[in-house]
Amino acid sequence: MSSEKSNLDQLRIDRSEAAADRPRRGLWLAAGLLLLLALVVGWWASRPSVAEVRTAAVRERRFDAGGGGTVLNASGYVTARRQATVSSKVTGKVTDVLIEEGMVVEEGQVLARLDVTNVRAGLNLAAAQLGAARSAVRETEVRRDEADIELRRQERLVAANVASQEELDRARAERDALVARLDRQREEVAVADRQLAVWRQEMEDRTIRAPFAGVVVAKNAQPGEMISPISAGGGFTRTGIGTVVDMSSLEIEVDVNEAYINRVRAGQPVSATLDAYPDWRIPCHVIAVIPTADRQKATVEVRIGFEELDPRILPDMGVKVEFRESETEAESGPRTAVLLVPGDAVFARDGKDVVMVVDGGVAERRAVSVGAQFDGDLQVLAGLSAGERVVIEGGAALEDRSRVKESGS
């Protein structure tokens, strides 16, 4: 009987051990759940972010006959054909400066004056010498008239045998001497008059005037400074009072690579865009192609004139130009098609022009070759196909193979 009880005890489940193992299994289960949650959160945090971008399609544009497309692009600066740094003809001290930057001046208007103290003294002396010379002439004229009367009297006395021939000869010699003296004194009057004119010119040279009508763009001297037409006295002597620009003579100067100069000719229509006003297209034309090349830069200078001047156009402004084909050339040439992308889609990276092409929600960086500009769009010569979509805002901030979401076109 005791053996059977012993066997039954061995088959009995120990409830105390099972109760002790239950808390340990709960802890392992909670730890596993926490680990799984951490893995999910880490994957979610490390997954690539999706950037929202605006895109546009690469489009094809065909030019009909008479379209007048761009044949060459270049850049240059606005220059003035008439521009002068106004100085004096003599060295002197500035007493008055009558100009300020931005002032409009007329031809001959007084811009500045120099000290004339010594010149005025010389002018007064020359005027006094001229007066003395004229007084001497008047005195000699009176003596000559008296000598004429005496000569006629002696002639009558000799004819009446009252006076001797010697007295007649003496009277004639006196009259001739006075005539000669009068001629010399008249020449002295002419010399004194010319000397006075020299001093008057010296006075005028101390008054600096505008050589032509224009606008003052620089004021270079102040009262009390020395000014000279040549560089003298180191940095203490000015060489000009100010700079005047004739705004009616503004034009554009560009340097064209000599390899493309065959696309430019006199009278060719040009569209210009100032860097300061990128949305303002200014109609222009080619004035002349300077018939010489720069050996160092391998360029040829081209002068371009404005069809109509505007107060917003200022000297030394940067400008971009498009040389366009004329309507006659466009009508005679074949129809052409070009690929265009918005100008904002192209940016520089490592010295190359690149765009971000979106395909299947992924932005791929791609190098392109661009050409002429057409109303804000750029011509694509290589690297893209019609219909592909490119990022037009924020492309430069994206990495290659970035995930993106298109928000519109």
Residue 187 domain-assigned (yes or no): yes
71/73 Cα distance (integer angstroms): 7
Examine the domain organization and report whether 227 and 90 are in the same domain: yes
Residues 6 or more apart in contact with residue 86 via CB below 8 angstroms = 111, 208, 210, 211, 240, 241, 242, 243, 244
Measured from the Cβ of residue 169, the count of other Cβ atoms closer than 10 Å reads 12
Q: Return phi, psi of residue 320, to 5°.
A: -110, 140
Assigned domain for 384 exists: yes
Same domain, 193 and 324: no
pLDDT in tens, 182-212: 999 999 999 999 999 999 999 998 999 999 9
Total domains present in the chain: 4
- Tell me what pLDDT residue 16 has: 52
Examine the domain organization and report whether 213 and 254 are in the same domain: no
The pTM for the full model equals 0.54
CATH number at residue 212: 2.40.50.100
Q: Is 200 helix (H, G, I), strand (E, B) or coil?
A: helix
Cα–Cα dist 295/276, whole Å: 31
Query: Which domain range does residue 384 map to?
Result: 51-64+335-406
Residue 232 lies in a domain: yes
Tell me, yes or no, whether 387 lies in a domain: yes
Q: 3-state class of 287 per DSSP?
A: strand
Phi, psi of 357 (to 5 degrees): -95, 130
Last residue of a domain, one of 288, 308, 332: 332
pLDDT value of residue 397: 73
Find, among 118, 116, 114, 130, the residue nearest to 196 by Cα. 130
In this structure, are 277 and 398 located in the same domain? no
Q: What are the tens digits of pLDDT across the range 338-369?
A: 788 888 888 888 888 888 888 888 888 889 88
Domain boundary among 332, 354, 375: 332
CA–CA distance, 76 with 255 (Å, rounded to integer): 7
Q: Specify the CATH number for the domain of residue 375.
A: 2.40.420.20
Flag whether 181 is in a domain: yes
Task: Classify residue 291: in a domain, yes or no.
Answer: yes
